[in-house]
Amino acid sequence: MELGHIADVALDTSPVSGGTTTLHAVWMGLPIVTLDAVRGVEASTASALRGIRFGGEITKDVDGYVQAALRFMDDPDRLVHHRQVSRSKLEASILMNYSERTADLEKAYRFMWLNWLQSDQQTLNLLDDLDQRLAQVEAAA
């Protein structure tokens, strides 16, 4: 992490995309160039960049990948700006909102526990109302 200052741009790998490395690069202030993909192993960097709504460029093909890297290298002001704001943008993103993510995980565990108690195989969504579901379970008991 201390060596981030020796690079200007992080080039994502393909066909296996970065994961933790992507977030480390953003934390160090490096913009990332990545290829868009569908499968998880190929799309993790693109998904992360979309999730934080910042951090680099997602390209459709190899030519776009090369052009995006060259655009970054041709724009030192953009690189400086990116270094100045990337850490605060990552800190403000959903990825680092630990209390909300933990609450979502706890809610998911409660839904799974309710499914197990009821021998139910329902697919539940975190947007569902947990209190309403608990009331339904109590009413059925």
pLDDT attached to residue 124: 74
Give the bridge partners for 13, in sequence order.
Answer: none
pLDDT attached to residue 138: 79
pLDDT attached to residue 123: 66
Kindly state the average pLDDT of the residues 116-121: 78
- Least-confidence region, from 69-73, 119-123, 135-139: 119-123
Q: Give Cα 92 to chain centroid, integer Å.
A: 12
**For the segment 24-59, what is each residue's pLDDT rounded down to a tens digit?**
999 999 999 999 998 888 999 999 999 888 889 999
Give the whole-angstrom CA distance, residue 15 versus residue 13: 6
What percentage of the chain exceeds 70 in pLDDT? 98
- Residue ranges of the chain that CATH labels 3.40.50.2000: 4-96
Which CATH number applies to 4-96? 3.40.50.2000
| Dihedral angle of Cα 75, 4, 34, 72, to the nearest 10 degrees | 0
- Please give the full DSSP string across 84-124, using - where no structure is assigned: HHHHHHHHHSGGG-HHHHHHHHHHHHHHHHHHHHTT-----
Kindly state the average pLDDT of the residues 65-89: 95
DSSP label at residue 61: S
Instruction: Please tell me which residue, 3 or 14, carries the higher pLDDT value.
Output: 14
Count of residues for the chain?
141
